[in-house]
Amino acid sequence: MLGTIDWIVIIGYFALIAGIAWWSIKTQKQKTTDQYFLAGRHLDWFIVGASIFASNIGSEHLVGLAGSGATDGVAMAHYELHAWCLLILGWVMVPFYMRSKVFTMPEFLERRFSPKARTVLSGISLVAYVLTKIAVGVFAGGVVFSTLLPDVNLFGLDSFWVGSIVVILITGLYTVIGGLRAVAYTEAIQTIILVIGSVLVAIFGLHYIGGWSKLRAIVGPEMFNLWKPLIPDGVASTWAPIKEAGRMAWYFNDNYPWLGMLFCAPIIGLWYWCTDQYIVQRALAAKNETHARRGSIAASYFKLLPLFIFIIPGIICYGLAVSGELPVLQQQLIGPDGSIIRDQAQQAFPLMVAHVLPIGVRGLVVAGLLAALMSSLAGVFNACSTLFTIDFYSRLKKGVSQENLVRIGRIATIVMVLIGLAWLPVIRGGKGLYDYLQGVQSYLAPPIFVVFFAGILNKRLNAKGCLAALGTGFMLGLFRLAIDTPVKLIPGFQYSEGSFFWIINNIFFQYYSLFIFIVSVVVMYAVSYLTEEPDYQKIAGLTFGTVTEEHKKTTRASWNKVDVVASVIVCLLIVAIYIYFSGIFQK
């Protein structure tokens, strides 16, 4: 399926990545924690922005987002239009993070609330990274290789295993040796390759199907409508009895209703872009507040691309399959009833690469796919090692030298690589992993979002309120996960229709996430105001109510009109995209 020229391009890509990683390692010795975990806090704004985007663009886009485009059209673009969340990171959160000089988000929570809050968030983040982000990255590597190189076998392992192992080992190697500096610089070049390659997929796909108008005519206008109905056609409008409500909620689960997207999706977006160690670590590594903000603004421009370079190719793949333009796609993606097979839709993007692109270009795009997989894994490896070393090991082992902390960080990364390899059989055996992980994210994010944003906005909120909100929110999330897991992972498992567990399982995951958010807010405010006030001297500069005039002057000096104009343009582009894909122009 890949020609000689394709292999030359792929080998050239690996050589380029190896060279960049080697250069980044040689030009700065990784002797201190600042250098290893935060690249010495010397990254320029473009490297910060490209690294943020490359860390975000991973398996969930290559496998999940393109597959979602094939099954549900542009519905998932709501998440990808969260570029404005990056503006919140740059303009609202960065000043607090940069002046606190923290390594991790849990460390910031300790400064704002208490050491217990830091420990709770660190533990949950570490487990979540290992079992979700690494798992998804390894799974996607296997899917890409098994689709593009189905005949590859090595020592009895098929292409899924070979691809997964190669990607995770190479990524782990340069992450272990080079730390965040190697990760950030390789991510910058990977971003360029990925964007170019994905744009080529969209261009060649549109050319193959006969243009934009032909695509719309084949797939229908609803595939290009961001706002899905609350109560779809054919479903009773009454919400009683509960059994019928459950049926509607289950139906919604496949159609992303606009109410959930409007109110719940921003909570998930702000948690991910503004408080998640995996993303914010890049901003923390910037030279100063100016570069951190401009890096966030640059990343917001990059974040507008996934709709066009992943979702649209997924829709094109569906159009080519359902129309019969490419019989091989029709055979793999369309079922006997004429509808798309959801379990097969995750192969949409690699199938486009395999059957639409010409030789040579195909090699470049495969390199882009590998770039996304590797950058996603590299980011989570580094984030995990940072959390473990800074938030656990350094607190248990007092007086440890900087060199030893770096060594422990490398060992922690190796452990993450081994766990990722050990997780392969579990990933390959599961189905619907992407939907499951979307649920995990929605259940874990709300309490974290609440304690960070409410903690910065209101100086009266205290450590007891923070811990109560985190504990309550996570218990509610774990409760839903415990109910969902058997249904997702055990073939044929179902709760008795109408039972309590059945009702909980059938509530649309975004609505349940919104419920967790509301409960977390109420608990945090109630407990905080029923207990003592925090020591405002200890949280000086960490909330809006404790920011000094000197802090304000420093922040004001860190931006100019160019930054403001660039941010306004991003907002206007988002509004324009929402207007176009709102159904107004799809009639």
Q: How far apart are CA 36 and CA 43, in angstroms?
A: 13
pLDDT tens-digit profile, the chain (587 residues): 667 787 888 788 778 767 766 676 566 554 444 444 444 456 788 888 887 887 777 656 766 778 888 888 887 787 788 889 999 999 999 999 988 878 778 889 999 999 999 888 887 777 777 766 776 676 666 666 666 666 666 666 666 667 667 766 766 665 555 555 555 666 667 667 777 878 888 898 888 888 888 988 888 888 888 776 554 444 444 334 334 444 443 333 344 566 767 788 889 889 989 998 778 888 888 888 899 999 999 999 989 988 888 889 889 988 888 888 888 888 888 888 777 877 677 778 888 888 888 887 888 777 777 766 666 676 677 777 777 777 777 777 777 776 777 677 777 777 776 776 665 555 554 444 555 566 678 888 899 999 999 999 999 999 999 999 999 999 998 898 888 777 766 767 888 888 898 888 888 888 899 999 999 999 999 999 999 999 999 999 899 999 988 889 988 999 999 999 999 999 999 999 988 888 665 55
Whole-number pLDDT of residue 533 = 95
DSSP string, 27-75: TS---SHHHHHHGGG-B-HHHHHHHHHHHHSSHIIIIIIHHHHHHHGGG
Whole-number pLDDT of residue 254 = 47
Q: How far apart are CA 333 and CA 315, in angstroms?
A: 12
Give the closest residue to 183 by CA, choosing from 11, 370, 393, 383: 383
Handedness of CA 546, 549, 555, 556 (dihedral sign): positive
Instruction: Please give the biggest Cα pair distance in the chain.
Output: 70
3-state helix, strand, coil in the chain (%, to 5): 80, 0, 20
Q: Which residues of 52-90 are buried (b: 16+ CB within 10 A; e: fewer)?
A: bbbbbbbbbbbbbbbbbbbbbbbbbbbbbbbbbbbbbbb
Q: How far apart are CA 292 and CA 49, in angstroms?
A: 8
Give the closest residue to 459 by CA, choosing from 552, 529, 554, 553: 529
Q: Who contacts 576 (Cβ-Cβ below 8 Å, separation ≥6)?
A: none
Whole-number pLDDT of residue 236 = 41
DSSP string, 118-173: HHHHHHHHHHHIIIIIHHHHHHHHHHHHHHH-TT--BTTB-HHHHHHHHHHHHHHH
Mean pLDDT of all residues in the chain? 78
Q: How far apart are CA 353 and CA 351, in angstroms?
A: 5
Contact 464, 527 (CB under 8 A): yes
243: which 2 tokens?
A: 């059994």
Radius of gyration of the chain (CA): 23
Q: How far apart are CA 111 and CA 214, in angstroms?
A: 56
Handedness of CA 100, 106, 109, 111 (dihedral sign): negative
Q: With 0.85 as the threshold, say if the pTM is over it.
A: no
Decide: residue 233, CB within 10 A, 0-12 exposed, 13-18 middle, 19+ buried: exposed
Task: Give Cα 100 to chain centroid, integer Å.
Answer: 25
DSSP string, 335-346: -TTSSB-HHHHT
Tens-place pLDDT, residues 258-283? 676 778 888 988 998 999 877 888 88
DSSP state for residue 286 in the 8-state scheme: B
Q: How far apart are CA 63 and CA 70, in angstroms?
A: 11
Tally Cβ neighbours within 10 Å of residue 462.
23
Q: How far apart are CA 318 and CA 275, in angstroms?
A: 36
Every domain of the chain and the residues it spans: 4-584
Decide: residue 217, CB within 10 A, 0-12 exposed, 13-18 middle, 19+ buried: middle
Q: How far apart are CA 126 and CA 119, in angstroms?
A: 11
Contact 380, 213 (CB under 8 A): no
Tens-place pLDDT, residues 235-250? 444 334 334 444 443 3
Whole-number pLDDT of residue 465 = 97
Decide: residue 494, CB within 10 A, 0-12 exposed, 13-18 middle, 19+ buried: exposed
* Amino acid at site 550: E
Whole-number pLDDT of residue 248 = 40
Contact 285, 184 (CB under 8 A): yes
CATH class of 4-584: mainly alpha
Give the closest residue to 123 by CA, choosing from 448, 512, 411: 448
Whole-number pLDDT of residue 28 = 56
Q: Who contacts 99 (Cβ-Cβ below 8 Å, separation ≥6)?
A: 289, 541, 551, 554
Q: How far apart are CA 11 and CA 370, in angstroms?
A: 11
Q: How far apart are CA 524 and CA 196, in angstroms?
A: 46
Q: What are phi and psi of 334, to 5 degrees?
A: -105, 130
DSSP state for residue 211 in the 8-state scheme: -
